[in-house]
Amino acid sequence: MPLFMDTPGGGKMERGERPSDAKLLGARIGRFALLSMTAFLALLGTPTGLTQGTEPAGAVGLREGMQLEGPARVVVRALPAATQTAGQPQEIVRRPRPAPQAPQEAQGAAPDANAGDGSFAAQTALAPALSGTGFEGLDDGNDSALAGFTLTPPDPQVAVGPNHVFEMVNVIGRIYTRSGAPVQTFTLGSFFGVPAGFSDSDPRVFYDALSGRWFASFVSFVDLSGSQTDKARLHLAISQTDDPTGAWNVYFVSFDQVFPDYEAIGVTTDKFTVSSNIFDIDSPSYFGVETLVLEKGDVLAGLPGASVHLFAFPRRTDRFTVRPAQSLSVGTDQFLVTRDRNVATTLTVIKVTGTPAAGNVTEAFAANKMIIAQNAPPASVALGGNIDSGDQRLLDAMWRNGRLWTSASAACVPAGDGTTRSCAHLIEVDTGPTPPNVLEDIMFGEVAQYYAWPALRTDASGDLYVSLTHTNSLIFPEARATGRLAGDPPNTLNGTTLLRAGDIAHNSTRWGDYLAVAVDPLFTECVWLVGEYSKNTPGAHWGTFIARSSQRTGCDGDSDGWSDAAEVIIGTNPALACGTRAWPPDINDDHSVDISDVVVLTGNFGRRVPPTPARPNIAPDPPDGFIDVTDIARMTGLFGQRCS
């Protein structure tokens, strides 16, 4: 998406430019003004729609036969260290490319019979419980320190692996330990290999537990003056191991004159899928959704780009913003979702089968399912100034064990309210039958409240977790979470949990453009959420917060390697990593795993719990009630280590 910044001369500078590029501005000010006005009208809800037509002369993308390029081998721990950038940081605000304007449907439009009653989500007293205190993520001050400018909106992402947490925002990344200590911070331009002078945006990252690897994407482009050919790249990165600080294989796809906006990525057991909206770099002209399917095994192996099997579906101008699902369980069908461009009450569920290597990739079906009207929401009212709630496009998608979930911001009139608010629209689809069935259609709203930018995942038990932004006229924008248990009544959510309250009025209308939720690969009934809140920083006043949550005490709140639920059974303190009755393998509480601990465990070998005390029963997680070789293996694997 083109980004703009105010300059002292009163013009606009594109986000990818640095001050030394100011000589390019003169020929482009008129073009920028047109884009800014189009975006402004779109934000106001004026039905400007999208300009469609013939692609610009020389427009080239992968569908014309270009191939994946690379990979470059990037070692994250070898990237340039974060340093303070000298000078006054510049403030850059990204203007969104307009979404197609569909006719507004009645807010109470009823879903089809298999979507339940379609009522607004009920609130109950139970809310997802946080595990541990969470920690502060990146903010616009980090942008200014490392990149030399502040950028709004941040597009925060979080991914979690066996030993690390990876956060990305526009336009920097940071890797943490699982307890929240920063390991490394770097620009995404250096990570993805963005060419000098290019704009870059829209980071995506997740950890794929199916393969034990990290997947990430990014977009960059440059708008050149005169008759020069504009350029763009879709960047794709796959880690070589489960260590995100190590080596990655970084590929890219080149585009001429057009660029892949608002991309999203998904995986199955055998496919890596990317979908984006193709726009002219110079104007709001829209040329359709482009969906690429790559052979997952090829990119995991780091094959040369020319050897990676891939398939590009023809661009579809009748679709806009298709979201591929991240598969959290074994399966080869890639599910994707999109809201119908012209009908607000239609969700299109797409199934892609086959593999590029076999030459049989096909869209097995595209089923249209009726849902509650998915209309663009109003701005979210907040103390000190309203913020953007987004438009009608879908934001997120995930699949697990035959269940597909997707989310969006949407307009709704909450029960008991007479005013249209921004609400969170959450939809669950059963993908088993053909065509699939909508199981739940939740429009989550409350009287005089605004909820926006929902991201979601389900844990191994099927419990749902949602990260979202919350505002009302009396508070600054804050980060909250909500969710539901798998067995809760249909079309209901539990109450919300505060992740981080806002500090100050946000000084830009832009917010989002999305959030993220990630399932912990070690504790599969635990999820990690990144939220956005208004933070008291020198720039645009945005910050991020990262927290863990479990509705079944499935997290490891003290980061000692045992879930909260396991520690309750063992009898240790789930909120304390070291000390008296704190670390499960440290039976004698001397802060280390030594021979005395082994003696206690082996002295109880072969006994059941109870009547034997539970303390030696440290494996598996949760403990199995029997002191056996699993407990010995767990303890000997830690022998000689100290807690810290």
CA 193 to chain centre: 21
For residues 388 and 409, the answer to whether their CB atoms sit within 8 Å is no
Write out pLDDT tens, residues 350-393. Answer: 999 999 999 999 999 999 999 999 999 999 999 999 999 999 99
Predicted confidence at residue 57, as pLDDT, reads 57
Which amino acid, residue 121? A
Contact 410, 390 (CB under 8 A): no
- What pLDDT, on a 0 to 100 scale, did the predictor assign at position 56? 57
CATH topology (fold) of 564-642: Type 1 dockerin domain (1.10.1330)
Beta strands across the sheet bearing 231-239: 69-75, 247-256, 231-239, 213-222, 199-208
**Radius of gyration (C-alpha) of the chain in whole angstroms:** 25
Q: Of 56 and 228, which is predicted with more confidence?
A: 228
pLDDT above 70: residue 103: no
Instruction: From residue 205, give the alpha-carbon distance in Å to each of 82, 180, 265, 282, 297.
Output: 20, 18, 8, 28, 18
Q: Is 584 helix (H, G, I), strand (E, B) or coil?
A: coil
Q: Using CA atoms, how far apart are residues 482 and 10, in angstroms rounded to an integer?
A: 43
Mean per-residue pLDDT over the chain, rounded: 87
User: Is the pLDDT at 11 greater than 70, yes or no?
Assistant: no
Q: Are strands 90-94 and 149-152 parallel, antiparallel or unpaired?
A: parallel
Distance in angstroms (rounded) separating the CA atoms of residues 552 and 21: 54
What letter represents residue 545's amino acid? F
The Cα 352–Cα 185 span in angstroms is: 37
Residue 127 CB contacts under 8 Å (≥ 6 apart), including other chains: 481, 482, 483, 494, 495, 496, 497
Q: Each residue of 146-180: pLDDT tens digit? A: 888 888 999 999 999 999 999 999 999 999 999 99
DSSP H/E element including 598:
helix 595-603
Mean pLDDT for the stretch of residues 410-438: 98
User: What residue segments make up the domains of the chain, in order of their start?
Assistant: 68-80+127-550, 564-642
pLDDT tens digits for 539-586? Answer: 889 999 999 999 989 999 999 999 999 999 999 999 999 999 999 999
What are the phi and psi torsion angles at 339 (to 5°)?
Answer: -85, 135
**How confident is the model at residue 505, as a pLDDT?**
97
Contact 438, 428 (CB under 8 A): yes
DSSP percent split of the chain into helix, strand, coil, nearest 5? 10, 40, 50
Distance from C-alpha of 265 to C-alpha of 261, rounded to nearest angstrom: 12
Lowest-pLDDT range, 36-45, 46-55, 229-238, 520-529? 36-45
Residue 415 CA to residue 603 CA, distance in Å, equals: 62
Is the CATH number of domain 68-80+127-550 3.40.50.720? no
pTM: 0.89
pLDDT at 52: 55
C-alpha angle 238-242-245 in degrees, rounded to nearest 5: 80
CA distance 250 to 247: 10
Phi, psi for residue 143 in degrees, rounded to 5: -55, -50
Question: Residue 122's pLDDT is what?
Answer: 46
- Rounded-to-integer distance, Cα 332 and Cα 317, Å: 27
pLDDT of the residue at 144: 86
How many other CB atoms sit within 10 Å of the CB of residue 195?
Answer: 14
Which residue matches tokens 């809140």?
Answer: 533
